Amino acid sequence: MLIRRALFLLGFLGTLSLASLEAGDLPAGPAYQIVLRSRHAEATPTRTKDAQTGGGSITVEQPEPNTIVVYMYGSAVAGSDCHMSAAAVDFVLDQELEIMPLRQGVRPPRVGMVGRVVGTIQVSPCGKLHKESGSAEQGPAAATLFIDEVPLLQTVVKPSSVACGQESSVNFRHGPVEAPAVVGCYRLHSTFRIAASQGKGVFNRRYAVADFDPAPELDAFWADALRPFRAVPRRDFGYRLVLRVVEQRADVGAGK
């Protein structure tokens, strides 16, 4: 009896060791990777009279093999004693990419996107004359993922705007949105816009500001225009889009 128990215990321990070894051999990390291909990224500033734009950058980073993050930063300010002025920055990105498996035997991929916009917009109070009116806006931050030029996913962070005497701190988000995908080539198209315009100030200088940059490269001349939101944390300012690919869950195909 003792011999039988000893043999059983040895067999049980051997089974545990084998299970532990097999568990240790299970693949770690993401099942898919995103390979970045050709890119067209363009930020176009426009200015009239006494206005300035700052930043205007587009970057694409890849913190993990299966994740890319798009950043669009910029600021636009306008204001004058003598002239009507306006400033804007238009952002456009076309990023080609490929989804590829990192190991054999994985389930089909699933793609998700989420977009977020953080910043401030403000306009000085209007004077008695209509010519002193101004506006500031953040246009829609849109992104579409295409496969063979057919839309697969889309996020659209809603726009916002202010007029005379209005101020707004913006923190908008759309998503996540998800869809089943396949291994292959894709194109990510994304756009964003900020703008500010201000009529001439007859007796006092007035401003319109659209600020969506963590560190706006603006002249010191505009320091007063940025003062109303100087205490707002700026680390997350700008438009950020996250695209991620994962392995489809096992229960999705089973209809659970």
Q: What are phi and psi of 96, to 5 degrees?
A: -85, 140
- Kindly give the confidence (pLDDT) of every residue in the chain, 256 residues in length, as a single tens digit, with 9 standing for 90 and above: 444 444 433 443 343 333 333 444 445 688 999 999 999 999 999 988 878 888 889 999 999 999 999 999 999 998 866 677 899 999 999 999 999 999 999 999 999 999 999 999 988 877 665 555 788 999 999 999 999 999 999 999 999 999 888 889 999 999 999 999 999 999 999 999 999 988 765 556 778 899 999 988 777 776 777 776 777 888 899 999 999 999 998 876 544 4
Both structure tokens of 63: 């913190």
Q: What is the dihedral of CA 148, 151, 155, 157, to 10 degrees?
A: 100
Evaluate whether 201 touches 62 at the Cβ level (below 8 Å).
Answer: no
For residue 172, give Cα distances in angstroms to 32, 69, 77, 114, 144: 29, 17, 21, 11, 18
Question: For the chain, what are the domain ranges?
Answer: 28-253
Please tell me whether residue 231 adopts helix, strand or coil conformation: coil
Give the model's pLDDT for residue 118.
Answer: 96
Quickly tell me which residue has 């931050």 as its tokens: 141
Burial, 238: exposed, middle or buried (Cβ in 10 Å; 0-12, 13-18, 19+)?
buried
Q: What are phi and psi of 23, to 5 degrees?
A: -65, -35
Q: What are phi and psi of 200, to 5 degrees?
A: -70, 140
Q: H or E segment at 10?
A: helix 2-24
Give the model's pLDDT for residue 217.
Answer: 78
